[in-house]
Structure 1
Amino acid sequence: MNFDLTEERQMLQDTLRRFLRDRYDTATRNTILESDTGMSKEIWAELAELGVIGALFTEEQGGFGGKGFDIAVVFEELGRAGVVEPFLDTAVLGGGLVADLGDESQLALVEEVIGGTSQMAFAHGEPSSRYDLNRVQTTAKTEGDDIVLNGHKAVVVNAEAADHIVVSARESGDRDDEAGISLFLVPADTKGVTVQGYALLAGGRAAEVMLDDVRLPASARLGKAGEAYAAIEARIAAANVAQCAETLGAMETATHLTKDYLMTRKQFGRPIGTFQALAFRMSDLLIEMEQARSAVINAAGHLEGDRKTRESNISATKNLMGRAGRLVAEDSIQLHGGIAMTQEYELAHIAKRIVMADHRFGDTDHHLERFIALAAA
């Protein structure tokens, strides 16, 4: 099997890497993190103009990519540079669900997302749902010609900046049933929507979204009533590929910074990287990197497969990336010493992103249990 990038993906990778190298240094990111929005509208618009968002959608949806390897190429570079802008939430999740399920009028929003003029968020997780995609207690009741939403959505990334929020709600069934879940496209300024925002440890912002008698027309529903679970699961799978590729890029930066430091810092008249004990630890990091890269390639290559194959490979990859990522982050910090904990040094942000990535869309324990359950099914 040939794992080399196609000419188009190689061009995309080179263009994105060159842009981020020139425009996205540690000082720039720290300025963005300290801002009220937690993102740079200028950089967002420039990346959209480069076609980065379009690479996350298929040609039928108005983009020029959308496959597993397209997602992996983009997010590996975003992770390598530690980009905090909400590409995953606006394009892969929110925009992706609209592209998958939307009608003709709703699909016009996808063009705005690809053009960089519209922001989106996906409100699915709830305070009691943990990582279970089927646990939805937010309700959607039909009252006349309207649909009324009530509920509480937790840790909705990019909710403050979003122009539209894709909200999951239950129209029928018990709280843990896969059947009965629907998706609704909710303008962020709709009456009854309350957004309470906060900064995230690894960068960006999220919010608690309260839905109090939010009235929507029936045309706000995405797809068929009560049949959204399969689309949600597929989109979370794509988000996991993106998250794992982003973590891989961050791990590459961490190991590169560590190697440079070990060959620069001197003790007893020579670089500390030449000491056998530290050289062995650096070798372990590089081995973990190779395993992680193989896992991401495997997940990206199976994203378009049947459900069991796709989900099994996603859970296996997420489990490995969580374990490998934690090792790379911890060892990189230890090998650097105190400098690694300072905000002005690149590794401080990168290590936080690697560690916190394990806690989104399911941690190592969750995906190990899920992989075993899928294998036994």
Structure 2
Amino acid sequence: MALILTEEQEMLQDSAAGFLAENAPVSSFRMVRDNKPEDGFCRKLWNQMAEMGWAGIIVEEEFGGSEFGYVGAGVLAEQMGKNLTASPFFSTAVLGATAIQRYGTAEQKAQYLGAISDGSKIFALAVDEGPHHNPNQIAFTAEASGNGYVLSGAKSFVADGHVADKMIIAARTSGETNDENGITLFLVDADAPEISRQKTPMIDSRNAADIVVDGLEVTGDDIIGKLDGGFTALEGILSAGRAVLAAEMSGSSQQAFEATTEYLKEREQFGKKIGSFQGLQHRAAHLATEIEMMKSAVLKSLQLLDDDFESAGPTCAMAKAKTGMTAQLTTKEAIQMHGGIGVTDEYDIGLYFKRVHLAQQMFGDAGFHADRLAKRSGY
């Protein structure tokens, strides 16, 4: 498939760009950062997104979604990245919708996909238990008890976990802590009394949560995917998240680069526009080529999710790794080429820098994915 958007996808891109420029520009993100609302985002904006079909972007039409696929989700995420838009789109419309639509039972699909599509339910994925991403290192326990299970353990950095209505928890039902086998995914009510949630403000002014679960009783009906075989489902959900998160970082990188090139054209030093200095031209040209390669990697991963979901994992990992490196380079260079003012709050560059440096770590940074792919290739 050609690495270009279809006419419909381009229309979605234009629509999203116009809507976010009017309703959720960077200035709106600054208001969220400064006012620190409890949710960490604007509920009114999220409801507007849901009305436009964004919350159900990958959900099938029979469940109230717009069924625009992962390329469509990536198109929206890219525009959100350009505007630093804070919303539960990633945790709910991508992670939650993927989990239920790809691996949920017929009953789970009927009960929750409509609620995702209309924006009435916020989902969160609880997987990591330490400071670094490691999805097969699960110590969180699900002990058999009667006809069900009892969940106990802790999870960290759960995106939108502080406001989620439903939570998907990766727990160990058998095996050792580092085994891929023996992991099971459970769908639980996030406000259950056995769950305590502590909001954790991040450096990018978004919010996550640390959660502790103490003796939560669940049944087999709460399982997503297969008992003891949840790692396959977890990897599928994470692959979708990695590709869409890469699309968001791509948007942030593009916007930071655009702002930097505009600054190079305007700023004067020694009586000349600094964009005329060959050293800065070389650095800008390098960034331009890296950004184009990044955009191709991201689009390919999203297309594969739509066309061959089960085999898209390695490409999604590659796209996440490439985008993380490029986004870091772009925002670092943007600060350097802006000079001292690049780190001041007067300019937006620092906001993009913070966001991409956190996003590139979520669900594995470049080092994580390079190491993992090498091990699976026998190195």
Normalising by the smaller structure, the TM-score range is over 0.9
Report if the CA contact (8 A) 1:127-1:152 is conserved: no
In 1: Cα distance, 2:68 partner to 2:236 partner: 13
Task: Using the TM superposition, give the Cα deviation of residue 177 of structure 1 relative to its aligned residue in structure 2, in angstroms.
Answer: 1.9
- Equivalent position amino acid for 2:114 in 1: E
1:196-216 deviation digits (Å, cap 9, x = unpaired):
111111232111110101122
In 2: Cα distance, 1:344 partner to 1:184 partner: 45
- Equivalent position amino acid for 2:119 in 1: G
User: Are positions 1:124 and 2:145 aligned together?
Assistant: no
- State the TM-score, normalized to the length of structure 1: 0.93
In 2: Cα distance, 1:203 partner to 1:58 partner: 33
Report if the CA contact (8 A) 1:166-1:186 is conserved: yes
Report if the CA contact (8 A) 2:96-2:123 is conserved: yes
| 1:184 matched residue in structure 2 | 186
In 1: Cα distance, 2:265 partner to 2:11 partner: 32
Task: Using the TM superposition, give the Cα deviation of residue 60 of structure 1 relative to its aligned residue in structure 2, in angstroms.
Answer: 5.7
In 2: Cα distance, 1:375 partner to 1:8 partner: 38
- Per the alignment, in what secondary structure is the counterpart of residue 290 of structure 1? helix
Q: Which moved more, 1:93-102 or 1:255-264?
A: 93-102
Q: How does 1:102-181 map to 2 (within 5 A)?
A: 102-107=104-109, 108-127=111-130, 130-181=132-183
Q: How does 1:177-216 map to 2 (within 5 A)?
A: 177-216=179-218
Structure 1 pair 349–56 and aligned structure 2 pair: CA distance change class (3 A):
farther
- Equivalent position amino acid for 1:96 in 2: T
What is the number of residues matched between the two proteins?
Answer: 375
- Equivalent position amino acid for 1:43 in 2: L
Q: Which moved more, 1:66-75 or 1:6-15?
A: 66-75
Gaps of 5+ in 2: none
- State the TM-score, normalized to the length of structure 2: 0.93
Q: How does 1:351-366 map to 2 (within 5 A)?
A: 351-366=353-368
Task: Using the TM superposition, give the Cα deviation of residue 35 of structure 1 relative to its aligned residue in structure 2, in angstroms.
Answer: 2.2
In 1: Cα distance, 2:147 partner to 2:121 partner: 28
Report if the CA contact (8 A) 1:170-1:181 is conserved: yes
| 2:323 matched residue in structure 1 | 321
CA RMSD of aligned residues (A): 1.9
Task: Using the TM superposition, give the Cα deviation of residue 300 of structure 1 relative to its aligned residue in structure 2, in angstroms.
Answer: 2.0
- Equivalent position amino acid for 2:16 in 1: L
Q: Which moved more, 1:367-376 or 1:165-174?
A: 367-376
| 2:300 matched residue in structure 1 | 298
In 1: Cα distance, 2:2 partner to 2:293 partner: 17
Report if the CA contact (8 A) 1:192-1:212 is conserved: yes
Report if the CA contact (8 A) 1:27-1:344 is conserved: no
In 1: Cα distance, 2:372 partner to 2:304 partner: 17
| 1:331 matched residue in structure 2 | 333
Task: Using the TM superposition, give the Cα deviation of residue 56 of structure 1 relative to its aligned residue in structure 2, in angstroms.
Answer: 2.6
- Per the alignment, in what secondary structure is the counterpart of residue 10 of structure 1? helix
Report if the CA contact (8 A) 1:141-1:147 is conserved: yes
1:219-247 deviation digits (Å, cap 9, x = unpaired):
22223322211111011111111011111
1:2-58 deviation digits (Å, cap 9, x = unpaired):
333222212211111100111122321111122222111011111111111222324
Report if the CA contact (8 A) 2:59-2:113 is conserved: no
| 1:38 matched residue in structure 2 | 40
- Per the alignment, in what secondary structure is the counterpart of residue 142 of structure 1? strand
Report if the CA contact (8 A) 2:21-2:83 is conserved: yes
1:266-298 deviation digits (Å, cap 9, x = unpaired):
223332111222122111111111111121122
In 2: Cα distance, 1:197 partner to 1:332 partner: 31
- Equivalent position amino acid for 2:265 in 1: M
- Per the alignment, in what secondary structure is the counterpart of residue 155 of structure 1? strand
Report if the CA contact (8 A) 2:58-2:97 is conserved: no
| 1:284 matched residue in structure 2 | 286
Task: Using the TM superposition, give the Cα deviation of residue 168 of structure 1 relative to its aligned residue in structure 2, in angstroms.
Answer: 1.3
Q: How does 1:77-88 map to 2 (within 5 A)?
A: 77-88=79-90
In 1: Cα distance, 2:220 partner to 2:228 partner: 13
In 2: Cα distance, 1:159 partner to 1:245 partner: 22
- Per the alignment, in what secondary structure is the counterpart of residue 177 of structure 1? coil
Report if the CA contact (8 A) 2:151-2:215 is conserved: yes
- Per the alignment, in what secondary structure is the counterpart of residue 261 of structure 1? helix
1:97 maps to which of 78, 99, 103: 99
In 2: Cα distance, 1:36 partner to 1:54 partner: 24
Q: Which moved more, 1:249-258 or 1:58-67?
A: 58-67
- Per the alignment, in what secondary structure is the counterpart of residue 42 of structure 1? helix
In 1: Cα distance, 2:163 partner to 2:140 partner: 22
- Equivalent position amino acid for 2:222 in 1: A
Task: Using the TM superposition, give the Cα deviation of residue 346 of structure 1 relative to its aligned residue in structure 2, in angstroms.
Answer: 1.9
Report if the CA contact (8 A) 2:174-2:228 is conserved: yes
| 1:368 matched residue in structure 2 | 370
Structure 1 pair 294–4 and aligned structure 2 pair: CA distance change class (3 A):
closer
| 1:21 matched residue in structure 2 | 21
In 2: Cα distance, 1:315 partner to 1:93 partner: 16
- Equivalent position amino acid for 1:313 in 2: T
In 2: Cα distance, 1:25 partner to 1:181 partner: 41
Report if the CA contact (8 A) 2:147-2:219 is conserved: yes
